[in-house]
Amino acid sequence: MTPADLSQAVQAAVSSAVEAGELAVTVPEHVAVDRPKNRDHGDYATNVALQLAKAAGKPPRAVAEVLAERLRGITGVAKVDIAGPGFLNITLDTATAGALARTIVEAGEAYGRNEALQGLKINLEFVSANPTGPIHIGGVRWAAVGDSLARVLRASGADVTTEYYLNDAGVQITKFAASLQAAANGREVPEGGYVGEYIVDIAKAITDVVPGLLDRSEDEQLQVFRTEGLKLMVAEIQRSMDEFGTHFDVWFSEKSLHDSGAVEQATTRLREQGHVFEQDGAVFLRTTDFGDDKDRVLIKADGDTTYFAADAAYYLSKRDRGTEVALYMLGADHHGYVNRLKAIAACAGDDMNHNIEVKIGQFVKMLRDGEEVRMSKRAGNIITIDDVVEWIGVDAARYTLARSSTDSTITLDINVLTSQTNENPVYYVQYAHTRMCGVARKAAELGVDKGTAEQFKPELLATTWENDILGALGEFPRVLATAGELREPHRVARYLEDLAGTYHRLYENCMFLPKGDEEMTDTHRARLWLVEATRTVMANGLTLLGVSAPERM
RNA sequence: GCGCUCAUAGCUCAACGGAUAGAGCACUUGACUACGGAUCAAGAGGUUGCAGGUUCGAAUCCUGCUGAGCGCACCA
């Protein structure tokens, strides 16, 4: 029995109590059934009596009494206690709890999937760093979190398109091109330009590919450096993302919005919605109608379109392509954009509380020798995605960056990253998985296995450690659903750490295989089912984080 | 000045409004002639920044204060 099953059963109990006239309340849509931290509180606990007490006009414990009697009648429920202010503590019979192992093994990779977001078309945009340099540590965080979030959302049934917005138009690209040109000609990088080894490398790559380039006019050179530089830089970013295991379904070009006329059309479309006005020769969008602190310019007095106009066109493009929810992941330095982006949606006639979501993530702070490393492109001390991968590898990097809430700034110690990588909890989790694989290998050596489903006797999974891990395994689908609904993939990582610890304790206390000349027993077989179930969940969880589930370490 | 986010163990971080606030690392002490010890057990470590409020119940929600990061362009 899964927690979801039990929740429904409790809900049904409330229903039947209402029908019998024992409770005068409306049946709640969802009944919370929790795995209590304290073992003495049973396998599962529900606060439903506390929630309904006021509406029922009875003390919580009296409501609990009514429900307890009905819950005791549910098949698989061994015991129901009323505790504290009115909690209902439910204990399952061992066979019912243990049967979950078989359910999981049979579901395999599908276990954990749920339909919380079934059919929802989500466009998830993340990283979107300017193609004027390598991805730095902040961008790496969004790559890890965003890619994992995409996987989590899909596991909840959402139809997700991942997207990288390439700011390949505008003055930053011109500065980038000018920097390349300067480097190729051995000149100083212009004011506000880009510096760094990569500039020199790319410049050289371009002059290698385009012979005689430096003999052409300055203007011609600049054009070549712009197009070729952009091409190479984007390819470089794509390579980094690819190596990082982060996949984007769409690489969306800002320039294409301008070239196709989509930016002008966006202004027209917004004007038709009645939120566009002109003032001082410029064209504005009245975003203040929807919570922005000032109206935003779409077309400047000199006739040029703004970056904001492209943002509007881009949003409309996402919607035109069938997106129901446009989900943006932005860094903390862009939080000021939230209101104006949401206002775009509202001005377009959309629901700004549903069709657009903006998730703001805090920065990554780097520490070296106990001191904060202030990164600046000019000083050339940027920590790039390739640096991090080189130090600790993709698995550890992704895990480290994805295991924390994006609401909190995280601090990474470079000394730790480059040396004592054992401090990374990912190894604790992965090691648990290798131990499960080790059990399977050992079983094969001994020539034994878990047997058929018919031979599986779930009632033999009776120790406290087995009960603990069954409880943890049952939580996986709801952890996933919550992570998807809240857009918080770090919950998956935390869950896996908890599961790994629970497994390590089981491993210490329960033998899965016969030792010496002992016989293989039904208990061994039942435990092999449990180990396989745990391995399945661990592997499924690691996959959601884009982290490998190794058989050996 | 206005706004967004944050403040939890020595450090890095968790905790859909639930019961005694949890892990990892670091520290102390133990555990392998059994499935891989990258493990486990025990100990120590907290006024959840401060003060009020909401309620059966607050780290969580509301208000104020303090402190930190970031943002407030006809820039991109």
Tell me the per-residue pLDDT of A222-263, one tens digit each, with 9 for 90 and over: 999 999 999 999 999 999 999 999 999 999 999 999 999 999
Torsion of CA A128, A492, A476, A48, to 10 degrees: -100
| Strand B–CB A302 distance below 7 A | yes
Q: Which of A493, A488, A502 is nearest to A543 (CA)?
A: A493
A168 burial via Cβ count (<10 Å: 0-12, 13-18, 19+): buried
Is residue A476 within 8 A of residue A539, CB to CB? The reply is no
Tell me the per-residue pLDDT of A115-128, one tens digit each, with 9 for 90 and over: 999 999 999 999 99
| Strand B–CB A553 distance below 7 A | yes
The token pair that represents A292 in the structure block: 């922005």
Report pLDDT for A31.
87
Above 80 in pLDDT, residue A376?
no
Determine the protein residue whose CA lies at the shortest distance from the C1' of B16: A482
Q: In chain A, which segments carry CATH 1.10.730.10?
A: 424-545
Tell me the per-residue pLDDT of A451-490, one tens digit each, with 9 for 90 and over: 999 999 999 999 999 999 999 999 999 999 999 999 999 9
A334, closest nucleotide (Cα–C1'): B71
Q: Chain A, 31-50: which CBs lie within 7 Å of strand B?
A: 32, 34, 36-38, 40-41, 45, 47, 50
Q: Which of A473, A375, A313 is nearest to A134 (CA)?
A: A375
ipTM of the complex: 0.94
How is A101-138 classified by DSSP, letter by letter? HHHHHHHGGGTT---TTTT-EEEEE-----TTS--BHH
Is residue A290 within 8 A of residue A342, CB to CB? The reply is yes
Distance, CA of A497 to CA of A429 (rounded, Å): 6
Distance, CA of A390 to CA of A414 (rounded, Å): 12
Q: In chain A, which segments carry CATH 3.30.1360.70?
A: 3-92
Q: What does the H/E/C string look like for A266-281?
A: HHHHHHHCCCEEEECC
Torsion of CA A110, A114, A118, A123, to 10 degrees: -80
CA–C1' distance A434–B35 (Å)?
Answer: 12
Q: How many CB atoms lie within 10 A of CB A516?
A: 4
Estimate the crossing angle of helix A218-243 against helix A171-184, to 10 degrees.
100
A173, closest nucleotide (Cα–C1'): B76
Helix, strand, coil percent values for chain A (each to nearest 5): 55, 15, 30
Tell me the per-residue pLDDT of A188-213, one tens digit each, with 9 for 90 and over: 988 888 988 899 999 999 999 999 99
Is residue A291 within 8 A of residue A249, CB to CB? The reply is no
Report pLDDT for A377.
65
Q: Chain A, 513-542: which CBs lie within 7 Å of strand B?
A: 513, 515
Q: Which of A448, A429, A550, A432 is nearest to A493 (CA)?
A: A429
Instruction: Tell which strand B nucleotides have any atom below 7 Å from a protein Cβ.
Output: 2-8, 11-16, 18-20, 22-26, 34-41, 56, 69-76
Determine the protein residue whose CA lies at the shortest distance from the C1' of B26: A423
- Determine the topology of domain A424-545 in CATH: Isoleucyl-tRNA Synthetase; Domain 1 (1.10.730)
Distance, CA of A337 to CA of A314 (rounded, Å): 14
Q: What does the H/E/C string look like for A186-235?
A: CCCCCCCCCCCHHHHHHHHHHHHHCCCHHHCCHHHHHHHHHHHHHHHHHH
Query: Maximum distance among all alpha carbons in chain A?
Result: 93
Give the mean model confidence (pLDDT) for residues A532-538: 97
Above 80 in pLDDT, residue A420?
no
Cα–Cα distances in Å, from A534 out to A472, A475, A484, A502, A548?
Answer: 9, 12, 22, 10, 16
Estimate the crossing angle of helix A464-485 against helix A94-107, to 10 degrees.
50
Distance, CA of A314 to CA of A312 (rounded, Å): 5
Determine the protein residue whose CA lies at the shortest distance from the C1' of B24: A425
Give the mean model confidence (pLDDT) for residues A431-453: 94
User: How much of chain A, in percent, has pLDDT values that exceed 90?
Assistant: 82
| Start-to-end Cα distance in chain A | 34
Cα–Cα distances in Å, from A309 out to A200, A267, A281, A299?
Answer: 34, 7, 16, 7
Distance, CA of A467 to CA of A510 (rounded, Å): 12
Above 80 in pLDDT, residue A375?
no
A220 burial via Cβ count (<10 Å: 0-12, 13-18, 19+): exposed
- Superfamily grouping for domain A3-92: Arginyl tRNA synthetase N-terminal domain (3.30.1360.70)
